[in-house]
Amino acid sequence: MKRRLPDLRELAPLLQFDLPRLDRVAARLESAADIWDLRRIAKRVTPTAPFDYVDGAALDERTLTKNREALGNVELRPRILHGVDAPDTSTTIAGARTRLPFGIAPTGYTRMMHSEGEAAGVRAAAKAGIPFSLSTMGTTSVEDVAQAAPDSTRWFQLYLWKDRQRSLDLIQRAAASGYETLLVTVDTPITGQRLRDHRNGLTIPPRLTLGTILDASYRPGWWFNFLTTEPPKYASLSNTSQSLAEMTKTMFDPTLDLDDLRWIREQWNGRLFVKGILTAEDARRAQSVGADGLVVSNHGGRQLDRAPDSLTSLAEVRAEVGPEMELIFDSGIMSGTDVVTALCAGADFVLIGRAYLYGLMAGGQRGVERAIELIEQEILTAMGLMGARSITDLGPELVRGLPQAPAADRELRTDAV
């Protein structure tokens, strides 16, 4: 091998030193290559208790793990020479056109993760042309979320109470503020046991203990935001006279039954989706009271640990309801490839919970925008490599290894409710 002295003129074009960025949030968001990177940033800048509240799940967190494994185990089939220039990612769900086949899931107590909270979520969703769901346990009121992004597509998530007047007040406010679709969450008669929250001593609102103050020294940005903005509260419920602790206790009602769902169906004129369906039997019951669609979800593994993973349930539920009923999928989505997988498996649309919250914790509204952008890019790449021109091209023929609906459930399809 012949050696020579390095020639500086040849090296000059290769040397590219970037000036340090003054906007550190922008720099760290840009450095994130996927949602897992956003999660790592989120963990660094958010106190342990709120981070774990998002990141954790029920008991041994097996359902959380199974959700992601089930999606990852499906093979996507490449198709070559299909001449796809720019895949069309738009679709229609709940009567609304959306630029991307996913939206933001309802999450409670969001301003604890980052003080920008729901306003950041709804603004980022509006910019991306996707729906935003506000939780009953949101920390920004129904009206303020609408005002933060008047042009957004907004859905409202309802936890039902025995006190019917309370549910009615909330959905009337939601209707008056332009929320088009109601998601009625039915998988939370009681809350699942989240061991991380217990171990971290998580309280809502967070308490200032010696531990949390020490934690603050590592995350000054989060604490500065927390201490210099309105404390988080259940913003849509603040007109009740109950204390926060009492409210949390009465939030969930183990005695709810199908009649309560039937009643809410009669009160709401817009589209109604029942959220938290995992089995053919429950799909049938929700259908029987006039649900327009279902959200196949195990609440991100946060409720019944060892419940079936959401993808296996999707197969069971789709086999039950047939091709017409709109099915939204959630639980476990961490990438655009996951979104494409769920769509191929029979979902019409997907919701992201943690993936959005990791972005929020990492950088407020800009973090949510980055999360959406990363997932969009991954969808475009997968569709391009799978030769899919539009969302309707994504079907079971483009995947291999999908979970199958249990045979017994297929036989039971014609049973009465």
Give the whole-angstrom CA distance, residue 42 versus residue 179: 30
Q: Residue 370: CB partners within 8 Å, gap ≥ 6?
A: 29, 30, 32, 38, 359, 362, 363
Q: Considering the complex, what minimum distance in angstroms separates the CB of residue 334 from ligand FMN?
A: 7
Site string for ligand FMN, 288-307 (x = CB under 6 A): ---------x-xx-x-----
Q: Considering the complex, what minimum distance in angstroms separates the CB of residue 296 from ligand FMN?
A: 10
Give the whole-angstrom CA distance, residue 253 versus residue 251: 7
Region binding ligand FMN by CB under 6 A among candidate stretches 161-169, 201-209, 325-333, 403-411: 325-333
Give the whole-angstrom CA distance, residue 103 versus residue 310: 17
Site string for ligand FMN, 125-144 (x = CB under 6 A): ----------x-x-------
Work out whether 47 is an interface residue with ligand FMN (CB under 6 A). Answer: no
When the beta carbons of 135 and 341 are compared against ligand FMN, the nearer one is 135
Q: Considering the complex, what minimum distance in angstroms separates the CB of residue 415 from ligand FMN?
A: 28
When the beta carbons of 330 and 393 are compared against ligand FMN, the nearer one is 330
Classify residue 69 as left (phi > 0), alpha (psi -120 to 50) or beta: alpha
Candidate residues 51, 53, 155, 358; the one interacting with ligand FMN per rule CB under 6 A? 53
Distances (CA, A) of 297 to 108, 279, 302: 16, 10, 10
Whether 299 is a known active-site residue: answer: yes
H helical segments located in 177-233 = 195-200, 210-218, 220-227
Work out whether 167 is an interface residue with ligand FMN (CB under 6 A). Answer: no
Of the candidates 379, 410, 405, the one whose C-alpha atom is nearest the C-alpha of residue 35 is 379
Q: Considering the complex, what minimum distance in angstroms separates the CB of residue 390 from ligand FMN?
A: 24
Can you name the residues that pair with 86 across neighbouring β-strands? none
When the beta carbons of 40 and 400 are compared against ligand FMN, the nearer one is 40
* Residue of this chain nearest to ligand FMN (CB atom): 353
Q: What share of the chain is helix, strand, coil (3-state, %, to 5)?
A: 50, 10, 40
Q: Considering the complex, what minimum distance in angstroms separates the CB of residue 137 from ligand FMN?
A: 4
Residue 272 is encoded by which pair of tokens?
């109604």
Work out whether 333 is an interface residue with ligand FMN (CB under 6 A). Answer: yes
Of the candidates 189, 186, 190, 324, the one whose C-alpha atom is nearest the C-alpha of residue 262 is 186
Work out whether 353 is an interface residue with ligand FMN (CB under 6 A). Answer: yes
Work out whether 123 is an interface residue with ligand FMN (CB under 6 A). Answer: no
Of the candidates 372, 396, 412, 237, the one whose C-alpha atom is nearest the C-alpha of residue 323 is 396
Candidate residues 63, 331, 337, 341; the one interacting with ligand FMN per rule CB under 6 A? 331
Work out whether 232 is an interface residue with ligand FMN (CB under 6 A). Answer: no
Per-residue DSSP letters for 91-124?
A: EEETTEEESSSEEEPP-SSGGGT-TTHHHHHHHH
Q: Considering the complex, what minimum distance in angstroms separates the CB of residue 253 from ligand FMN?
A: 14
Give the whole-angstrom CA distance, residue 168 versus residue 145: 19
Work out whether 332 is an interface residue with ligand FMN (CB under 6 A). Answer: yes
Residue ranges binding ligand FMN (CB under 6 A): 53-54, 105-108, 135, 137, 157, 185, 275, 297, 299-300, 302, 330-333, 352-355
List, by residue number, the catalytic residues: 299
